[in-house]
Structure 1
Amino acid sequence: MSKKMALGRGLGALIEEASTTNSAPTPTAESVLPKSELINEIEIEKIVPNPLQPRTHFDEEALAELAASIRELGIIQPITVRKVENDQYQIISGERRFRASKLAGLKTIPAYVRTADDQGMLEMALVENIQREDLDAIEVAISYQRLVDECSLTQEMLGERVGKKRSTVTNYLRLLKLPAELQLAIRRRLLSMGHARALVNIEDQELQLDILRKIIEEDLSVRQVEQLVKKLAEGNEKEEKKDQDEDMPEPYFKLVEHLEKMFSSDINIKRTAKGNGKIIIGFKSDKEINSILSKFEQLEGLL
């Protein structure tokens, strides 16, 4: 049997004070709180883990530290469970606290009891873990992806659920496109989120792995990796431009030459085999944009 207790001494004090100043019947915790907001002291033996738990690894040393804290201070934050068959309770969130409580030798644990279907339980578990647990970036990304796939959330809706910008959600989801070796390095804390964000823009997986080895061996900072990736990208662009230059007719070369003199900027022509394409004017700052705009205005004045 589970036994119920109020939300704490603060609430009890308020109720007691009200009873001394009001002749009306003394309210109980059950009458002033929603049923799901009451804390139940539940026998640990009746609690079963959540099969949809997004966290797949629990650090043993951290669990031992939490267990020691629980022995001394008790449970600060109740776990959340739902009632299932055979008088058991399934964890919605708080499995780390549950494991540490068992390790601490507790017989019961405070818990909120909620009613939730499997999808609702999954969403609550994922969101709670994303916000409160020390998940690595890949675990967060997997949790985000499961919310998108299994709870039918858009990235915008997901961002609202977890209190993150949509761009942040997108950056995490992109990590799942990385090779398994890079994802494993992130999980082992050998690669930071910043490093990974720089590497995810590289399409060549072998090159990604080469840079990963370089990061580990030379202890490269995020800034150094960003500069390395930028340098490689610029090299690829030059190679691409060189290949295009070999195929372009002579008038295109003359046009690029005239435009570069006119705008004092790098000019690139993208041309398909059919002869259509576009002219790209490069710039490095807002000041250069203003200079290019000024030159266009001068040309208009001559027409």
Structure 2
Amino acid sequence: MTTPLPRPKRKKKGEGGGSGTLRADREKAGLTGSHDIHALPPENGELLELDPETISPNPMNMRLELRDMDSMIADVGERGVHTPGIVMHTKVFMECYPQWASRVKHPDRTFILGPGHRRHAAALATGRIMPAVLRDDIARDRRVEEELVSENNSRAGLSPIEQALAIDLLRQRVHEDEDRTLSFDEVVERAGYTAGTVSKYLALLKLPDDVQQAIHVGDLSMRAGYSLSLLKDADGKKESPEAHALQLRGWELMRDEKLSVEAAKNRVTLEGQQQFHAGKSSATTLAVPEPREESTTQAGEDQAPSGETPKPVTVPSKGGETAPGETTAAPTAVAVIETTDDSAPTASPAPTVDPEVLRKAAADQRDLACRLLLAEERYAKGAESNARLVTMVLNPNEWKQAAAKAHGWLVELKKGPSSKKRPTDYFAAVAASEDSGLMQRAAFAIGLAADEVRAAQPDRAWDARDVAHVQFLATSRASYQLSEWEQQQVELLSRGKQ
């Protein structure tokens, strides 16, 4: 609001010359000669017209860059600055915020900005006057942080990282009446967000710098960034170098392979659990993700996971037909590693590894992929789920072993009645629960387990059903990567069908 300049008071006739107090005010202010009343020090709340060169940017402004400036500069150049900014005397600001004094860009300038940095930049670029309201009171009351956050909330164009930095600035704010920083609840109240939103914004600032940059420029959404921030190291820490490496790897998988954040996190877990190298696996162990809260989307719903790109797989088949009891997914999967005599190193041949060791290592990795998949809310499309149910019905002799494995998976993931220790009792309780989502998940788990038990059996050659099983894991949210041994089985079967 514009506050008019105070009108000078004048003495009544007969009280000393009729010049009022104007002369005394001028003399008190040290003004002589041709200076007029407008040279008096401005009052708090007064609307000023300032040369933008007399205003310094505020070091507490958390904008990483001033975006969309071309249109603003053109508009200001044509019509001037429409909305006044807020300024404080630089000296007052530095006295009230000594911790920021060394970061003031132009400490010699008379004023320092509160909100209004894009308008100030446009005024500088065009040489226009910058209208501003003097508000030394917000510095004295130590409310600059709140003014900046409030301004940010009301304006579009800030990235999630800039919003997070503004909230973090408010979190460090000193209470106006006590010598302490604001509590979390006070930050939530003054930021104007919910507690959950504040927590998610602050979590973004704990991500690696490269991931924060991706969020800032819009290559990664805030939701996906927050999900990556939940990746922990083996000790349960989110901010250690090891955890940051996992979070960065998750972003790289999303960027390079176009995976959804859920699939990328599953891939990171799989890679950390076991790295295939001559049949040996690393000792690093990561826990299966904690079960998420049930979403409004029904599990098993025929809905493609967002952000995932199917990987091409070739499923061996004869004459385009599928044998009874076998299932095939969409033609997608698995690049086969082909070796030639020229590519093999001649100096030091690779040691021979027992194929059963390789089979067992692959089965352990697939078992983890199955658990990761069942931890998801949208674990399979309807067609994929139905295909496994059909296979299970057509092969009832597989039910007992499959139910035992599925029971172990679901109890570990805290899905269903954990008090039921026997698979038959567990699935009977699920069937009587009238929870359609749980029943669908349990039925799918049995079908998935039947495929996995079969693929893991020793001393048997793989067939098209086994290939369809690993193909499904590779193109699902588990984002499974075939081991060299599994790729060899695919290749052998493919050659046998030719």
Query: TM exceeds 0.5?
Result: yes
The DSSP-based 3-state class of the residue aligned with 1:217 is helix
Q: Which amino acid aligns with 2:72?
A: L
Q: Which runs of 5+ in 2 are unaligned?
A: 5-42, 92-107, 175-180, 234-242, 270-288, 292-367, 373-407, 413-417, 441-498
Q: Which amino acid aligns with 2:55?
A: I
Q: 1:153 aligns with which of 182, 197, 210?
A: 182
2:88 aligned with 1:82:
yes
Q: 2:69 aligns with which of 63, 77, 80?
A: 63
Residues 218, 228 of structure 1: alpha-carbon distance in 2 compared, 3 angstrom cutoff: closer
Q: Which runs of 5+ in 1 are unaligned?
A: 8-34, 246-251, 266-280, 289-303
Partner of 1:120: 143
Q: Given that residues 130 and 143 in structure 1 are in contact (C-alpha distance below 8 angstroms), is that contact kept between their aligned partners in structure 2?
A: no
Q: Percent identity?
A: 25
1:55 deviation in Å? 1.7
Task: Give deviations 1:222-241, integer Å, cap 9, x for gaps.
Answer: xx3235547863847949x7
Distance across 2 between alignment mates of 1:184 and 1:87: 32
Distance across 1 between alignment mates of 2:75 and 2:146: 29
2:48 aligned with 1:40:
yes
> Which of the pair is proportionally richer in strand?
1
Partner of 1:192: 221
Q: 2:62 aligns with which of 31, 43, 54?
A: 54
Distance across 2 between alignment mates of 1:6 and 1:162: 29
Partner of 1:134: 157
2:262 aligned with 1:226:
yes
Q: Given that residues 155 and 170 in structure 1 are in contact (C-alpha distance below 8 angstroms), is that contact kept between their aligned partners in structure 2?
A: no
Q: Which amino acid aligns with 1:139?
A: E
Give the length in aligned residue pairs.
229
Q: Given that residues 53 and 124 in structure 2 are in contact (C-alpha distance below 8 angstroms), is that contact kept between their aligned partners in structure 1?
A: no
Taking structure 1 as the reference length, the TM-score comes to 0.62
Distance across 1 between alignment mates of 2:109 and 2:159: 34
1:103 deviation in Å? 0.3
Task: Give deviations 1:165-201, integer Å, cap 9, x for gaps.
Answer: 1111111111122222211221232211122122222
Q: CA RMSD in A?
A: 3.8
Taking structure 2 as the reference length, the TM-score comes to 0.40
2:244 aligned with 1:208:
no
Residues 284, 145 of structure 1: alpha-carbon distance in 2 compared, 3 angstrom cutoff: farther
Q: Given that residues 54 and 129 in structure 1 are in contact (C-alpha distance below 8 angstroms), is that contact kept between their aligned partners in structure 2?
A: no
Task: Give deviations 1:110-151, integer Å, cap 9, x for gaps.
Answer: 111112337322332233234425221112112111211234
1:105 deviation in Å? 1.6
Partner of 2:212: 183
Q: Given that residues 131 and 162 in structure 1 are in contact (C-alpha distance below 8 angstroms), is that contact kept between their aligned partners in structure 2?
A: no
> Which of the pair is proportionally richer in helix?
1
1:258 deviation in Å? 6.0
1:211 deviation in Å? 2.5
Q: Given that residues 56 and 109 in structure 2 are in contact (C-alpha distance below 8 angstroms), is that contact kept between their aligned partners in structure 1?
A: no
The DSSP-based 3-state class of the residue aligned with 2:225 is helix
The structure having more radius of gyration, on CA atoms, is 2
Q: Given that residues 81 and 89 in structure 1 are in contact (C-alpha distance below 8 angstroms), is that contact kept between their aligned partners in structure 2?
A: yes
